Amino acid sequence: MRAFHSFSTKPLLKENYNRKIDEQIDCIITIATLSCLQAKRLGIELVLHTDDLGEKMFGFLPYDNIYATLNKNRGHERFWASGKMLAHEAEPLGSVHFDMDAIIKKPDLVKLLCESKQDLVVEAHEYYPDVYDYPTNKLIEQVSTFPFLDMKKYRKHDALRCGLVKINNQKLKDMYIKGYWNIHDQFVQSNSQSLNDNMFTPDIVVEQSYLLNLVVQHNYSLQVIFGHGFAHGERGGFTAKELGWNHFMSGIKFYLLPRLKEQLKKGKIGYFEKSQQTIKEIIEFVKSKI
């Protein structure tokens, strides 16, 4: 199975979600080390799309290849999925993207992903409650055109968790990437003040909700691996534990960091030490540039 990680350092150079830059560097390098080593243990062909600073951060890891694809990332730093879009565009159809804060622990999930032929295969379905109304409404109201969608049918509260994504349909892939950048550009041009808020997360809509609405409105086939899928009535047949999937989303990764470091110490010899030395060097390098 060919899979890819993506990492743009543009969001990293800002304090996001009230997390200091050194905290973010420590956390992502630690988890990415675990993620990469485990994928290689399972025989996954794993490549990384990043930028020059990202190559300094992750160059010690045993990726099959590292591409400087994201040097050309023009996305605003609040749009953390912009690098992922460039990586999707660079990868062949059917490659599997999984987030660097996620770990595939069992071959069962690799087998399922290899065999999945639906137009879109994703980690899970998400339902955004009222707490997300403000950013969601702000995007939907202030972006004049969502490409390829009938806004009268837009399902505001529904979205897909995109920690794991496989796209098997070229037309869907092209629409998704083109639409993402169209929405990004319109929003950045008209909402510069909102983008100063380090808690604001526009990709809740632009990456996740937009993708689901494309699938639903254009009748693409969808496989939701974990939990319940609302679009088309799909029901994921597996739990994360059954297939060996750990996704350390949002703030949980910071709380679990000491435990993840202990896990890394018990892994492949030398990588804990390499990761800690790299963390120290990158923090010093970044602080010297700010």
Give the three-class secondary structure for 103: strand
Stated pTM of the model? 0.91
H/E element, 255: helix 252-255
DSSP label of 209 = I
Alpha-carbon distance 113 to 211, whole Å? 19
For 172-196, the pLDDT digits (tens) are 999 999 999 998 998 888 776 677 7
pLDDT of 35 over the 50 cut: yes
Taking the alpha carbons at both ends of the chain, their separation in whole angstroms is 39
For 130-154, the pLDDT digits (tens) are 445 555 666 766 666 778 888 888 8
β-strand partners of 116: none
Task: Please name the fold of domain 2-289.
Answer: Spore Coat Polysaccharide Biosynthesis Protein SpsA; Chain A (3.90.550)
The domain spans of the chain are: 2-289
Name residue 12's amino acid.
L
Distance of CA 287 to CAs 15, 50, 77, 203, Å? 12, 20, 18, 27
Return mean pLDDT, the chain: 87
